[in-house]
């Protein structure tokens, strides 16, 4: 069913942050930081995959994501919704259902046998594709998916995510330089604000997280004594 309500972005951001906190998808730990895929430490971690196990929250956030894309890009802007392997696949399927559009997904690399395909499903030359993922940090991983979509003759000028870190200045310019607009529901700043309101973490942890979000490299240097 195509959503017909359009909450304002501030309300969407606040509610999304609260839902992520309520289901334990947000992890703050200043004492034992998390090591991210780039090998760097951070006191923050968000697990958007956890959302698929909470039907009411999952449904609400997919309505929010669909409405956000419709509001920003238009109701007739797309012909296909593609998910990025693997976290983006369930969310792409849910958004495609709401938009009444075909769905496909993009592998991180060719499967290595059979058709050796990166795209599963059907994309036609000229199709306007919305790339859906769970989150984005600096936007780098999205570009490979976008290029794979474009290699089929389809176009991809928009990507939609539940969570955008919002702490790296280069993310949006990097995507725009590649011809891609980013749509998102909330950022670390929204989560931090909601965590403070709800007192979800102790004051010292929240202060450390705030310091990290303001300047990740300075936070790491202070921690290492550099």
Under the banding of pLDDT at 50, 70 and 90, the label for residue 116 is: low
Task: Please compute the mean of the pLDDT values over residues 103-126 and round it to a whole number.
Answer: 83
Strand order in the sheet with 119-120: 119-120, 103-106, 80-84, 128-136, 155-164, 181-187
- Tens of pLDDT, residues 1-20: 677 677 899 999 999 999 99
Average pLDDT, the chain: 92
Entry pTM = 0.93
Output the pLDDT for position 113: 58
Residue 45 backbone phi and psi in degrees, to 5: -155, 135
Whether residue 223 has pLDDT greater than 90 = no
Task: Please compute the mean of the pLDDT values over residues 34-57 and round it to a whole number.
Answer: 92
Whether residue 111 has pLDDT greater than 70 = no
- Tens of pLDDT, residues 168-187: 889 999 999 999 999 999 99
- Tens of pLDDT, residues 133-167: 999 988 778 899 999 999 999 999 999 999 999 99
Task: Please compute the mean of the pLDDT values over residues 115-122 and round it to a whole number.
Answer: 83
> Which domains does the chain show, CATH number per domain?
9-224 (3.40.50.2020)
């Amino acid at each position: 069913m195509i959503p017909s309500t359009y909450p304002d972005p501030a309300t969407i951001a606040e509610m999304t942050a609260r839902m992520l906190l309520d289901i334990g998808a947000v992890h703050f730990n200043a004492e034992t930081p998390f090591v991210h895929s780039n090998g760097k430490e951070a006191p923050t971690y968000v697990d958007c995959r956890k959302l698929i196990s909470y039907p009411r929250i999952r449904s609400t956030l997919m309505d929010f994501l669909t409405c956000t894309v419709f509001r920003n890009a238009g109701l007739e802007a797309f012909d296909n919704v593609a998910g990025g392997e693997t976290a983006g696949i369930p969310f792409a399927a849910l958004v495609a259902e709401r938009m009444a559009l075909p769905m496909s997904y993009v592998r991180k690399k060719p499967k290595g046998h059979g058709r050796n395909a990166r795209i599963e499903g059907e994309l036609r030359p000229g199709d306007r594709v919305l790339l859906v993922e769970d989150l984005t940090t600096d936007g780098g991983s999205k570009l490979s998916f976008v290029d794979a979509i474009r290699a089929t003759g389809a176009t991809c000028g928009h990507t939609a995510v539940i969570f955008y870190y919002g702490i790296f200045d280069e993310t949006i310019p990097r995507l725009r330089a590649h011809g891609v607009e980013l749509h998102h529901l909330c950022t670390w700043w929204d989560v931090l604000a909601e965590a403070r309101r709800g007192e979800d973490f102790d004051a010292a942890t929240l202060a450390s997280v705030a310091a990290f979000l303001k300047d990740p490299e300075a936070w790491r240097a202070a921690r290492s004594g550099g």
